[in-house]
Each structure stands twice: as structure tokens, then as C-alpha cells.
Structure 1
């Protein structure tokens, strides 16, 4: 057996283990897990593009809802000297796994303090730090409209003016819930979609469809206006790509 085969097998085993971990944690609590599968490579690349395109400038980056670290592993190699990555993960088992990932990552040798893991909800994050990029791994349609408003308000508070929020939304979830869920659940989902559509109209700088993910997803990049926003924005449409 050659070295490539051994490495490839290790990667496949890791992804298989992470997939099972997500399913187990989702069964426990969707609020702290947020998704039922780790992000694929294509989705992770789209989510982390705002960090990649600004390299090698030192950046302050916040990752929220990192799960087992699929996107974290894409972020770490992009961190230039002087950059900082703060990771917020509410699930205690995921947070423990992320700390181990950071401690063992070869790209962080001699600079482990560049990455910090905090176990909390982003709405409860007690920090005066401001970030150039926020990478959100929270499928917002799992939450109530009130929770989504709180999360989005906190994201905007945490961003520098002109900073970028990048997040994803799985394709087809609203139609699926309309067909299979209760009327109350379908209304909740529709209300969250309306909230996010308002942010997209006023703040979006790009949207990409990632078909090479399970399930496929749209990735949105939103930019915080210079003056900031409070509550759901009602501004004119932003650009889409």
C-alpha cells in the first residue's frame, strides 16, 4: 500500500466519522448542531473566499457554528502572520474536537494562540472585538425568526464597517418543509426566509450555488454598510453574481 492510498483512506475515514458525529449531535439538539452533515470541500471554499482574496493582509476572522471543523480546516492554511481566527461553537463535544484540531494542526506550529475556540452561542458572545470576515456555519432556517434577528444583529455588531459576512442556505428546504412539515413550521421557515431576503437585498455582494455539496447550497456574501444596521434592513437591492 502506497503513501497516497494510506492518506486517502485516512481522509475518507475522518469524513465518515464526522458524518456520524453530526447525525448523533443533530438527534440530540439541532439548536447546537445546526446541520446534519459536515460542509463539503466546495462549500468550505465558497464560504472562506473572502479570507482567501484578502490574503496576505492580516485579518480578524470569526467562524460561528464550526461543527467538527470542515470549514476550520479550510480557514487555517489561509491565515497570514498577524491574522486571528476566533471560533464560536455552542456544542460542547464539537468545541472539544475543535480544540484538538487547533492543537494538532501543523500549519499552527509555534502560533497556536492565533486561533481561539469559545464554547458559546454567538448571540451571547461577550467580546468587544471587531472582525473583517465572519464565516457562519449556522443553517439559519433551523431557528425562529426572533433568534435569526438576534444572530444577524450580533453579526453586524461584530463586523468592522465594510466587513463581510459569509453564510449558506441549503437549496429546497422551504419547499420540502411546505410539503412535509406542519403549517406552523412552514410559516416559521417562510418568516426566516423573508428576514434573510431583506438582508440580501440591502447587503449582498455575491451569491453562488454550490452543487457539489450534500445537500446543494447557496452561499451568500453580505457586507456591513459603513454606518451599520439595526434590525431587519429595508434598503435597495444589493448586487448578485
Structure 2
């Protein structure tokens, strides 16, 4: 058995274990686990694009709702040397898994990035730090509109001027809930969609369609308004619908 086969088998076993862990935690609490499976590589690539775009200077990055670390593993190797990564995860079992990942990932020592895991809700993160990039994996469609407004408001306050928030939303969830959910649940979901649409109209710079994910998703990039004398990181604000296979 060669090294590639062994590595492939380990990766497959890890994905299966994470899938079962997601299902178990979702059954326990949809507030902290809203996905049915860890994010795939294509989704992780789209979510971490703002980090690559800002290299090679050191960055302050926040990942919220990191789960089992599917996006975190994609993010750590892309951090420029001297960067800081704060990971916020409310689920205690996921948080412990993330601490192990942060301590053992091969890129952690070679890139000299400072990584800290915070076991708490992102709304309760007590910090004066501002971030260049925020990567959100929180299941916003599971929350009340007021909670979503608090989370989004907190994100925008935590961003540096010109900083980027990136998050995803599964395709087709609104239609599915409209057809299958109770009237009150359908109204809640529509109200959350209204909150998110307002933020998208005000701050969105890009939207990616990620079909190679279970389920497919849109990834949104929202940018905190730059200071008057500071150019946008994209040169100019724009809306796009880029496709990730």
C-alpha cells in the first residue's frame, strides 16, 4: 500500500466521521449546527477567496461557526506569515476538535500564524480587535430575524474599513421551507431573508454559485465601506455571479 492510498483512506475516513458528527450535533442543537454535512472543497475555496486576494501581508481573520474544521483546514495554509486567526465555535465538542486541529495542522508552525479557538457565540465575543476578513459558517437561516440582525451587525463592527465578510446560503432553502414548513416557520424564514437581502444590497461585492457542494450554495462577499481616502480592495464595488464547479 503506497503513501497516496494511505493518505486517501485517512481523508475518506475523516470525511465520513465528520459527516456523522454533523448529523449528531444537528439533532442536538440547530442553533450551533445547521448543516447536514461539512463544507466541501469548492465551498471552502469560495469562502476563503478574500484571504488569498489580500496576501501576502499579515492578516487578522475571524472564522465564526467553524464546525468540525472543514473550512478551517482550507484556511490555515492560506494565512500569510504573521497572521492571526480567531476561531469562534459555540458547540463544545466542535470547539475541542478545532483546538486539536489548530495545534496539529502542519501549516501552523511553518507559517507562524497565531490561532485561538473561542468557545462562545460570536455575538458574545469580547474583543476590541478588528478583522481584515471574516468567514462565517453560521446557519443564519435557522435563527430568528432579530438574532440574524445582531450577528450581522456584530460582523460589520468587527471588520476593518474595507474588510470583507464572506458567508454562504444553501440554494433552494426558502422555496423548500415555503412548501414544507408551518406558516409561522415560513414567515420566520422570509423575515430572515429580508434582513439578509438588505445587507446584500448595501454591502455585497460578489456572489459565487457553488454547485459542487452538498447541497449547492451561494457564497456572498460583503465589504465594510472603506474610509473616504481608502480605495476598495477590489478597486471598485461590483456585483457578480461567479460560478465555482
TM-score range relative to shorter protein: over 0.9
Q: Is the 8 A contact 1:201 1:238 kept in 2?
A: no
* SS of residue matched to 2:32: helix
Aligned-pair CA distance for 1:109: 2.0
TM-score normalised by structure 2 residue count: 0.92
Sort the Cα spacing of 1:183 and 1:210 in 2 relative to 1 into closer, same or farther, 3 A.
same
* SS of residue matched to 1:215: coil
TM-score normalised by structure 1 residue count: 0.93
Query: Take 1:178 and 1:23, find their aligned partners in 2: how far apart are those partners?
Result: 23
Structure 1: 5+ residue runs without aligned partners?
Answer: 228-236
Deviations 1:49-93 (A, max 9, x none): 000111111110000000000000011001111111000000000
Q: Is the 8 A contact 1:139 1:170 kept in 2?
A: no
Q: Is the 8 A contact 2:64 2:88 kept in 1?
A: yes
Deviations 1:145-201 (A, max 9, x none): 000000000001100011000000000001101111100000000011111111111
* SS of residue matched to 1:168: strand
Q: Is the 8 A contact 1:68 1:94 kept in 2?
A: yes
Task: Determine the structure 1 residue equivalent to 2:226.
Answer: 226
Query: Take 1:138 and 1:122, find their aligned partners in 2: how far apart are those partners?
Result: 9
Q: Is the 8 A contact 1:87 1:118 kept in 2?
A: yes
Structure 2: 5+ residue runs without aligned partners?
Answer: 228-236
Task: Determine the structure 2 residue equivalent to 1:189.
Answer: 189
Task: Determine the structure 1 residue equivalent to 2:204.
Answer: 204
Task: Determine the structure 2 residue equivalent to 1:66.
Answer: 66
* SS of residue matched to 2:187: helix
Say what the alpha-carbon RMSD is for the aligned residues: 1.4
Sort the Cα spacing of 1:140 and 1:95 in 2 relative to 1 into closer, same or farther, 3 A.
same
* SS of residue matched to 1:128: coil
Greater mean deviation of Cα atoms: 50-59 or 211-220: 50-59
How many pairs align?
Answer: 232
Task: Determine the structure 2 residue equivalent to 1:159.
Answer: 159
Alignment of 1:17-36 (within 5 A): 17-36=17-36
